[in-house]
Structure 1
Amino acid sequence: MGIGHRPVHGAGMPENEPRMKDSQIATALGDLGSRVEQTNELLQRMLAEVAKTPSTHAIFVDAGYVYAAAGLLVAGTEDRRAFDLDAEGMIEAFIDKARTIFADSRLLRVYWYDGARRRIHTPEQQSIAELPDVKVRLGNLNANNQQKGVDSLIRSDLESLARHRAISDAALVGGDEDLVSAVEAAQGYGARVHLWGIEAADGSNQAEPLLWEVDSQRTFDLDFCRPYITRRAVTTFENEGAPPPSRDEVRFVGAQIAATWLAERGRDTMAELLPGHPYLPGPVDQDLLIEAERVLQRSLRGHAVLRRALRDGFWQHLQAQY
């Protein structure tokens, strides 16, 4: 045997490495088979539990859309001050409809999105928040009575619930194109999004890109909405036959209202009006007129001079504060 060569033992195995006996191989294979069987049993139990767990749905309501669309359809106006909405009744109707559509699913809750000054609940929003299975989420309401931040709240909730598998289906009541990103986010986590709308009085009240993105679409007609909308009676004043107030009186009332709004709505909100001087946004001008008529207990409609005096008093006080 030459130098540097070592004898080889067995089938190429190193000299000192022990060989596994047939009995040991059989034991190892038996242990492996037992573990596989246990794993399969565990998976079967998990699948059985998943099969027993009902799917879950939630309803997301853009209240601004509901007020505008249902008000226009039933009462002929989008102005909330012209009609009353039975929010409790409409929410219950939405829940009943969801029970029919998602028959094998349970309701997580209804999310009601609305705007409010400084995100402080109005009495109406507070009563809605007290309803069972309803959560009110508030965006801000700017000086032009426009909702701010509502779409981002909807997206945040939709995405979060879908990501955590808290819902399998979402019924979205709205029409704004800005909701497309919310739909895409929820769908990205496997949730199905169903768009619910209110019949348009004329044309369409839901953005086409939103209709393209959702998994299904449903529209509620006039008969569905009519029971929940009541038009308010036109206000009449007892002293209509009396002489109209003077310009100074009306100007003083305008200043009073400006002071009240500063306290209630906040300086930042009111400051948003300043760049528009001497004009007020339509909704704000309407609020001012209605509040002045309430204080004066008479109509200022048809009195252009007095309405200018009202605005002058309003602006005079507002500008003096900044």
Structure 2
Amino acid sequence: MRSTCALYIDTGYLLASVATRVTGTSLRSGINVDYAALIRSLVAAAEARCGLPILRVHWYDSARDGVADRQQERIGELPKVKLRLGRFGVNGEQKGVDLRIGLDLVAHARNGASDVFFLVSGDDDLTEAVEEAQMHGVQVVVLGVPNSAGRPHGVSRHLIRAADDLDTIDGACVDVAVVKVDRPAPPAPPALTAPPAAPVPTVESPRPAVRTPLDLAGRQRIQEPPRPQSVPVYSVSSGAPAQAPPEYIDTDTDVPSEQDRVIDDVVARVLASFRESATADELLDLRRARPYIPPAIDRALLLDASEATEKYDLDEGIRYRLRSRFWEIHVAR
């Protein structure tokens, strides 16, 4: 049997990475993708890297109830492309995709399907599957998507150490196949035909004087209200209020930390990408959904924050801060 190579593409990683390259955030709705052109670029990169013809492209994605949508069906009909589907969890996250990739890597290596496997993913959870596949005599090369600086985007260090090599696809090919969605701003609401009625004045009842401590100069000090022991934040799955433990509450609001600045930058970029690509109805739906954060936006917030903070697993404090700042910044703008 002749020597070949094979591609194993984690679609979640691929689309998040190309979106980040084009828009600055991993939000998928901010891009339009020519999937046929993008897959051709990946095949060309793999064949040029190893000098072997492609045997097959394995395309791993999630689908509602594991049933392909129209776009996924069209991808599965492309030459030499094998569609492999997981499903969505209750929070919109991928379920079963990593497991399918890992099982296929090991099974195909054991059966000698190809000599070189190219893995388009950055997921730390695939490290053990890569090492197991290598034990059956195949090379496993991680093929990353270059960011704006030309470095592979979002690849776990454990995965890099386990793989035989790390390479990137041509950034120019990505830029041809992936374009930013840019919708015109919605029209401003019409002006009111009549001025609003003047508010009815109210008379406040006198309040009893409150004795407050004096400072060294004899002036009254302003007493701040006691800080609550917990602050409500909202579940991405149900929108129900949850509670952040006191240790996750920033007690020094006047001096933002470096982590606060990173989180605010991530939130601002995701919001900007969403607003530039969303329709007027989608913008209205987001406002109506408050305090619920749509799964696609929540997923982009977590991915971008993980990349910005260089933390593969975000702790609860960062997750809480991301979600609370999302609504604070959204309302402020």
Return the offset for 1:220: 2.7
Return the offset for 1:106: 3.1
More helix by share: 1
**Match status 1:273 vs 2:257:** no
TM-score, length basis structure 1: 0.60
Return the offset for 1:298: 8.2
**Match status 1:95 vs 2:43:** yes
With over 3 angstroms needed to count, the CA separation of the structure-2 counterparts of 1:185 and 1:277, relative to structure 1, is: same
Aligned residues: 217
The equivalent position to 1:214 in structure 2, one of 145, 163, 166, is 163
Say if 1:240 and 1:298, in contact at 8 Å, map to a contact too.
no
Aligned to 1:205: 154
TM-score, length basis structure 2: 0.58
**SS of match in other structure, 2:112:** coil
The equivalent position to 1:120 in structure 2, one of 67, 72, 75, is 67
Say if 1:84 and 1:231, in contact at 8 Å, map to a contact too.
yes
Report the Cα distance in structure 1 between the residues aligned to 2:289 and 2:75, rounded to whole angstroms: 36
Alpha-carbon displacement from aligned partner over 1:32-61 (angstroms, at most 9, x marks no partner)? xxxxxxxxxxxxxxxxxxxxx421211001
Report the Cα distance in structure 1 between the residues aligned to 2:131 and 2:282, rounded to whole angstroms: 51
Return the offset for 1:233: 2.4
Aligned letter for 1:134? Answer: V
**Match status 1:171 vs 2:155:** no
Aligned letter for 1:209? Answer: H
The equivalent position to 1:189 in structure 2, one of 136, 141, 159, is 136
**Match status 1:82 vs 2:46:** no
Return the offset for 1:76: 1.9
Report the Cα distance in structure 1 between the residues aligned to 2:4 and 2:282, rounded to whole angstroms: 53
Say if 1:239 and 1:297, in contact at 8 Å, map to a contact too.
no
% identical aligned pairs: 31
**Match status 1:138 vs 2:122:** no
Report the Cα distance in structure 2 between the residues aligned to 1:188 and 1:73, rounded to whole angstroms: 34
With over 3 angstroms needed to count, the CA separation of the structure-2 counterparts of 1:98 and 1:307, relative to structure 1, is: closer
Say if 2:58 and 2:82, in contact at 8 Å, map to a contact too.
yes
With over 3 angstroms needed to count, the CA separation of the structure-2 counterparts of 1:307 and 1:165, relative to structure 1, is: closer
Aligned letter for 1:121? Answer: A
**Which structure is richer in relative contact order (CA contacts within 8 A, separation 6 or more)?**
2
Aligned letter for 1:137? Answer: R
The equivalent position to 1:152 in structure 2, one of 95, 99, 102, is 99
**SS of match in other structure, 1:161:** helix
The equivalent position to 1:162 in structure 2, one of 92, 109, 112, is 109
The equivalent position to 1:62 in structure 2, one of 10, 19, 37, is 10
**SS of match in other structure, 1:300:** helix
Aligned to 2:301: none
Return the offset for 1:239: 8.2
Aligned to 1:231: 180
Say if 1:155 and 1:185, in contact at 8 Å, map to a contact too.
no
Report the Cα distance in structure 2 between the residues aligned to 1:238 and 1:120, rounded to whole angstroms: 38
With over 3 angstroms needed to count, the CA separation of the structure-2 counterparts of 1:118 and 1:240, relative to structure 1, is: farther
